[in-house]
Structure 1
Amino acid sequence: MRVLGESKTISVIDPSELLRPEPKFAKKPIGAFRDYSIDETDPIKERVRRTYELMHTYQTVDFVKGQHEKWTKFDHLKSTMRAALEKLNELVDESDPDVDIPNIVHAFQTAERIRKDYPNDDWFHLTGLIHDAGKVLAFFDEPQWCVVGDTFVVGCEWSDHIVYRDTSFKNNVDGKNPKYNTKYGMYEPNCGLDKLLMSWGHDEYLYRVLVHNKAKLPPQAFYMIRFHSFYPWHSSGDYQHLLRDVDEETKKWVLKFNQYDLYTKSAEVPDIESLWPYYESLIEKYIPGVLEW
């Protein structure tokens, strides 16, 4: 297990930061956030399309189970939450054509917008700050397609609202497996959100890290972190045949969080150094000490 140290800059292609579906929260025209058209002459669109094609080819039941086995031993890294967040300054998001800012700036922008609207919910402020911390996966040679981007359920037929759905799954072996390619696949009807196996990425990883390290955050924070990239569910309403009524309450919290995550990027940079004492106090309150990652 290593401790965070110096590393080369890693370029992370994150289509989830580029193309977003919630127009009511957007300050830009809707076309700027949800244009998944294919244009081989446009390098941004091509990077996004290729990232999703790789994701949808290799995110299978076996792959995801293998990632759980690999990463839930929590023997890769020892780091405080602050050190992990600061490490993300070395991540360069090549897919965002609008704002060229380090991850830490986006983290503080998200947290501060939440803090403004919910001044008494300090756990919510902290959730905004740490929600992308699972991207430290990228420092262990994990490819971008299993670190970033929208998530989906593996082990059953793929939702019609997954981006590039019509073409990007053609080489995914689960599509030819009768155990996984039906409406219910390997699941029981209405088994519930917590029984679904999600494609692997920074959301699920951070959720697992927080549970392992006994974070003292409320359940709502865990929902927000674990499912904030699950767009086919929380934005398109898919997978209802696998969900329980209680999952609708979870969705409310996830959508409440996403309006701050997706549309807080701007040229205005918070005074991070002056804000650190407040957020360090929250880290100490909810996720103290050196964590196992």
Structure 2
Amino acid sequence: MILFFFFDDIEAGIEERHKVATDENELKTSDGGFVAPHINSFGHNFRDYHVQSERQKGVEEFYRTNHINQTVRRMRQECGKMERVEMSIWECCELLNEYVDESDPDLDEPQIQHLLQTAEAIRKDYPDEDWLHLTALIHDLGKVLLHPAFGELPQWAMVGDTFPVGCAFDESIVDHKENPDNKNPAYNTKYGIYSEGCGLHNVLMSWGHDDYMCGAYMHLINEEDIENLKWLKIFNKFDLYSKSKVHIRVEKVKPYYLYLINKYFPAKLKWQCGS
């Protein structure tokens, strides 16, 4: 997510306390763990963008708008003007109870449910990796940028795909030919403004609640990215397949996640939107 915390060495502290295996085969799941369903909450295959429905029409139009408007400079310049907001992690989670992700063909529930469903599914399979439970809880917190307190950005600028800008668009990015950067010779070659193996930390991403990706653009990743992909592949299973119409009882699980937040984060964070 492109929200910056103004405190020191949080990531370093978490890494130091949790030197764990990153190979999925080395991480044993508990009995009765999470089982990925075959269909989503609407009775369709997950991530099926070809199903004919009113919601699907909205999803298609969302992605068209998203992919046309995400350019190298536009969103970075506009969002960098926002003021800081001081708020706790849990307060941000509660703000997401007001929003449904317009880009998601698999779920139309409030986003706080998605956070908790993902976290609780991971908690079943990896009960001893509390940092991973917390990762699931906060993984979509960038969507608070939809809220007036954080700038009230439109959904097309916040949710949906995250992809590199400044180099040629991958063919999997629909409607990319209408994006102005596609006609800019500085940005429309394979490497564009980057070099081979430069690492994702050096790559400018489309503006949104996420700031990471995998799959395409493998020519830009480095060794650190490859190592991180191991955990990302584990996480993706739960992020996608835990979506359900069955709600998590927020007040029941809240004490556990407040405990994790207090363990790893300060009571209040200063959030700022910027590049």
TM-score, normalised with respect to structure 2: 0.77
Q: With a CA cutoff of 8 Å and minimum separation of 6, indicate the structure with the bigger relative contact order.
A: 2
CA displacement, residues 130-188 of structure 1 (integer Å, 9 cap, x when unaligned): 111111111122111111001111000001222x2xxx123311111111000110001
Q: 1:130 aligns with which of 138, 147, 152?
A: 138
Moved over 4 A (4+): 94-100
1:247 to partner: Cα distance: 1.8
Indicate yes or no: 2:40 matched with 1:44: no
1:4 counterpart residue number: none
Indicate yes or no: 2:41 matched with 1:33: no
2:31 counterpart residue number: none
Q: 1:193 aligns with which of 180, 200, 212?
A: 200
Indicate yes or no: 2:245 matched with 1:275: no
2:230 counterpart residue number: 252
| Letter in structure 2 aligned against 1:285 | K
Contact 2:63/2:103, CA 8 A, preserved across alignment: no
Question: Partners in 2 of 1:96 and 1:26 — Cα distance?
Answer: 17
1:60 to partner: Cα distance: 0.6
2:85 counterpart residue number: 77
Query: Any stretches of 5+ residues in structure 1 without a counterpart?
Result: 1-23, 205-226
| Letter in structure 1 aligned against 2:190 | K
Percent of aligned pairs with the same amino acid: 47
Shift in CA distance, 156/253, structure 1 to aligned 2, threshold 3 Å: same
Greater fraction helix: 1
Q: 2:169 aligns with which of 158, 161, 168?
A: 158
Cα RMSD (Å) of the superposition?
2.4
CA displacement, residues 84-140 of structure 1 (integer Å, 9 cap, x when unaligned): 101111113456566443222221111111111111111111111111111111112
Indicate yes or no: 2:262 matched with 1:290: no
- What SS does the aligned partner of 2:216 have? coil
Question: Partners in 1 of 2:162 and 2:251 — Cα distance?
Answer: 33
2:159 counterpart residue number: 148
Question: Partners in 1 of 2:76 and 2:113 — Cα distance?
Answer: 33
> What is the aligned residue count?
232
Contact 2:102/2:155, CA 8 A, preserved across alignment: no
- What SS does the aligned partner of 2:100 have? strand
Indicate yes or no: 2:127 matched with 1:119: yes
Indicate yes or no: 2:210 matched with 1:203: yes
Shift in CA distance, 249/181, structure 1 to aligned 2, threshold 3 Å: same
Shift in CA distance, 94/169, structure 1 to aligned 2, threshold 3 Å: closer
Shift in CA distance, 98/38, structure 1 to aligned 2, threshold 3 Å: closer
Aligned counterparts, 1:48-59, within 5 A: 48-59=59-70
| Letter in structure 2 aligned against 1:150 | D
